[in-house]
Amino acid sequence: MLITFFISGVSALIYQLCWQRLLFATIGVDIDSVTIIISVFMCGLGLGGLLGGIISDKFPRHLINIYGCTELFIGLYGANSEKIFNFLNSNSIFLASSSHSLNVIGCFLALIIPTLLMGITLPILTMALNIKNQNIGSSVGLAYFTNTVGAALGSIAVPFMLFDFMSLAEVVHLAVLGNIFSALLVLTANSFIEQIN
């Protein structure tokens, strides 16, 4: 589970940096646009964390499968994200010459679903780990540490390595592969464990 959450952290930061570049065509390249994108990311992660906590309480026996499916949905959105953002950029409502507030709404709508899904993963994985550890502090710390290290690696790899050798679309697809690999790994492992038990 921790390996998948590490990979998930890498993918999340790859998405953030790539989507930020894709959305610059909509809201421009300045401190305001960066602030808007990061704010929407934080909003989605926060709301997702809240929703993930509710889901964890209601479905404690299915946490691993929910986590795996969430990773798959993030990957599915990532695979189609370039088309979504290109539509946003070409749609006359959200052109840079139009209202700035409409551009913000467009960015919010484009980012809220995947960031919500990303936010859901932490409480779900934390509660799944807590079933084994029986120590919520240790579970939260371990999951958050692992994901943050992955995110740090992603934030370093994209501008200093990946963009030197790959196109923006290829880097996004690398993040998609990370999500799909994480989902398949955790779902397969969980299925194997259930068969043994």
pLDDT at position 14: 94
**Exposed e or buried b for every residue in 153-184, given b needs 16+ CB within 10 A?**
bbbebbeeebbeeeebeebbbbbbebbbbbbe
- Residue 26: predicted pLDDT: 66
* Separation CA 60–CA 66 (nearest Å): 10
> Distance (Å, rounded) from C-alpha 100 to C-alpha 92?
13
Residue 75 pLDDT: 96
Q: Domain 2-196 belongs to what architecture?
A: Up-down Bundle (1.20)
- String of DSSP letters for the chain: -HHHHHHHHHHHHHHHHHHHHHHHHHH-SSHHHHHHHHHHHHHHHHHHHHHHHHHHHH-GGGHHHHHHHHHHHHHHHHHHHHHHHHHHHHSGGG-TTS-HHHHHHHHHHHHHHHHHHHHHHHHHHHHHHHHHH--HHHHHHHHHHHHHHHHHHHHHHIIIIIHHHS-HHHHHHHHHHHHHHHHHHHHHHHHHHHHH-
The pLDDT profile of the chain, 197 residues, written as one tens digit per residue, is: 888 889 999 999 999 989 888 877 766 677 777 888 888 889 999 999 999 999 999 998 889 999 999 999 999 999 999 888 888 777 645 554 456 677 777 788 889 999 999 999 988 988 887 777 667 777 778 888 888 899 999 999 888 888 889 999 999 999 999 999 999 999 988 787 777 76
pTM of the model: 0.88
List the chain domain ranges: 2-196
Q: Please give the Cα distance from 106 to 122 (Å, whole number).
A: 26
Instruction: Report the alpha-carbon angle 121-63-134, nearest 5.
Output: 95
What pLDDT is stored for residue 67 in this prediction?
Answer: 93
